[in-house]
Each structure stands twice: as structure tokens, then as C-alpha cells.
Amino acid sequence: MQEIKKPPDYGQEAIQMFSQRNNPYCDLLQNVIQRYKILFMKKILGLDLGSTSIGWAIVNETEDRIEKSSIVKTGVRVIPLTTDEQGNFEKGKAITTNQDRTSKRSARRNLQRYKLRRQALLKVLTEKGFINKDSILTEDGKESTYQTLALRAKAATNRLEKEELARVFVVINKKRGYKSSRKAKNEDEGQLIDGMGVALELNKRKITPGQFSLELLKNGKKLLPDFYRSDLQAEFDTIWNKQKQFYPEIFTDSFYDELKGKGQRATSAIFWKKHNFNTAENKGNRDEKKLQAYQWRTDALIKQLEKEEVAYVITDINNDLNKSSGYLGAISDRSKELYFNKQTVGQYLY
């Protein structure tokens, strides 16, 4: 039988050397474990949102009672706002400092461009002998408020003196004018569709934008022109009055006023809320839906449609009206009026 040997006695000093307290590897392992615990702790981001500041803090939250939660970092971001900016922000009408600065810079540039235009014009008028250094180019004296405007209207049909014509040029030079961009967004078989030309066509043939669009679609056209707001409004009113003959309880004057300025969703929602029916369902692919929509718009001018179909037509046209800019739309309609009446801006204003 083999004798079992006792383990060697290294002594108390050797045992102490490899104890947990004095072993550097144990300390290193402890540090690694602690870091992993922190890494996998629950992270919480706290935010304090104010009108002019944002406070924030990142916290490590422990899930047991042994470890302690800790704050990683905190901070605050102050947003400098003036009294007006803060008031607008709280009302939901915020404009950033950069936007405000950009608007003012744009105004300064426009003013500088106006001054340069004025200087260039005066230089040319002086060189051509229209004016001299003593010429009065503004309204001067009593009852002269509309003097220049009268000259501007007169200049389109009658002869003016050089100095009078110079005054007209100076007034026109003040504004850069408005160049209409009422063109189709892309080329359609190499030809751009001009908005004024379309308006003339509608006026000459006594047709609506819906009828004109239906013709284009049936002829294989893919793109449709933009229409003047006044032409869309005329189509809306014509269809409204026609269908009112069949549904007088629906198409009332108060309902007409309620739909003004509403978009597609809002108009459709009002039909459901007021009269408990939705717009008609337009089925098919994109091209088929577009063709059906304009077919309904054309039919609504001459015959009775189902009330859901009428609601679809009214919603469609009302959405087109809502999308057209009120300010630019008014300018475009005035341009059309001047063109039809063969008037100048001066004659119209006077």
C-alpha cells in the first residue's frame, strides 16, 4: 500500500502572498467585474424641457441592493430668446434667430438692389437727355397724389414729355415685377403648357379646367397644366349650382361658406360630419383614377350624379383651390384680367 504524502508546507508567508488581499490579479479581476456591472446597468436619460432651456442627466440605475446607482453626467442648454421670440414660441409661432437674421439680410439685399436699379436708370435717363439735375421725379405740390399714376395710365395711349416719361420709368423701376411660373413642371412631347394660353383657351371655348383636363387625358397626355384660381373657382361654383338643383338640402349657402379654404381631408370630413356620407370610392390604377375623377367633374356640369360622386368632385376642386397660393393666385388672376381687357398695370391702378 502506497504511502500518501502530505503537501509541502510553504509556510504562512507563502500562503499570505497568494491571498486575495495581496494578489494583484484578484484586484484586476475585481475592477473588470465592476466595469462590466456598470456597463450593463440600466441607463436613464432625464430631460427637463423648458421654453428657453433644456436640462439633462444620465444615470446608471442598479437592479440590486448591493450596488449603488450613480449619476454619470449632467448639463443644461440655455436657448437665448428675446421676449417676442419666447412669446411666439409658446404660441407655436416660433421663428429661429437664424431665420430672423436671414429675413433681415434678405430685406437689406432687396433694398440695395433697388438702389442700384434706381441709380442705373437715372444714369441712363440723364445720358439720353430725359432729365437733368433739377428734374422733379416725385409727386410735388397740392393735389398731386395720383399725378404719376395718371401719367402712367396715359403713357399707354398718348404721347408724354420726356420728363413725364422719366417719372413713369422711375415708378415702374421701383418694383422688380412678378414673372409668372405657371408652366407645366416637365416637358410634354417637347411643348410647355403656358397658363395664360390655357386660360385663353378656356375663355374662348367656355369650358372648365375639368373638361380641358379630361380632353388632354383622353388624347394620351400625362401631364396637366396648372390653372388660375379664378377658373377653378368658376368651375366649383358652376358644379355647386348645378347639383344644388338635385340636392338642395345638402348644398346650402351655409355649407358653401363652411367649405371655403378647406383641404381634401377637411372637406371630406365635413361631408361625413354634416350629412353622414363619404366621398365616392375611386377604384383602379393611378391613370384610371385620374381619368375617372375628371370624368365626374365633367359630368357634374350637365347632369345629376350620385351624392357621393358630387362630394368627391367638390372635394377635389376645393383641394385644388386650397393648394393655390392666395397671394400669388390673386396676382395671377389680375394678370389674366389685364391680358383679357388689354390693359396695362397703370391703367388698371388708375
The answer on 269 and 147 residing in a single domain is no
Q: What DSSP string runs through 102-160?
A: HHHHHHHHHHHHHHHHHHHHHHHHHHTTS--TT---S--STT-TTHHHHHHHHTTTS--
- What is the domain range of residue 36? 14-78
pTM, 2 dp: 0.55
- Confidence bin at 63 (pLDDT 50/70/90): confident
Same domain, 327 and 228: yes
Helix (H, G, I), strand (E, B) or coil at 284: coil
The sign of the dihedral angle between the CA atoms of 192, 316, 334, 301 is positive
- 137 belongs to a structural domain: yes
Does residue 246 belong to any structural domain of this protein? yes
**Segments of the chain assigned E as strands:** 42-49, 53-61, 70-78
Please say which residue of 144, 174, 204 terminates a domain: 174
The reported pLDDT for the residue numbered 248 is 95
CA distance 82 to 97: 9
Do residues 167 and 139 touch, judged by C-beta distance below 8 A?
A: no
| pLDDT per position as a tens digit, 184-220 | 445 444 344 556 778 888 888 999 999 999 999 999 9
Look at the alpha carbons of 206, 207, 208, 213 in this order and tell me if their dihedral is positive or negative.
negative
Q: What does the pLDDT look like over 135-167, one tens digit per residue?
A: 888 877 776 778 888 898 899 889 999 999 999
DSSP code, position 4: P
Residues 22 and 132 in one domain: no
Most confident of 153-157, 181-185, 250-254: 250-254
Q: Given the C-alpha cell 416719361, which residue does it identify?
A: 165
Query: Residues 230, 335: one domain?
Result: yes
Of 174, 203, 230, which residue is a domain's last?
174
Best CA proximity match to 198, nearest among 332, 293, 300, 313: 332
Q: Quick one: pLDDT at residue 14? A: 46
Name the average pLDDT for the chain.
81
**Is residue 63 domain-shared with residue 119, that is, in the same domain?**
no
Between CA 66 and CA 63 the distance in angstroms is: 9
pLDDT tops 70 at residue 345:
yes
Checking if the pLDDT of 222 tops 60, the result is: yes
Backbone angles phi, psi at 70, to 5 degrees: -145, 150
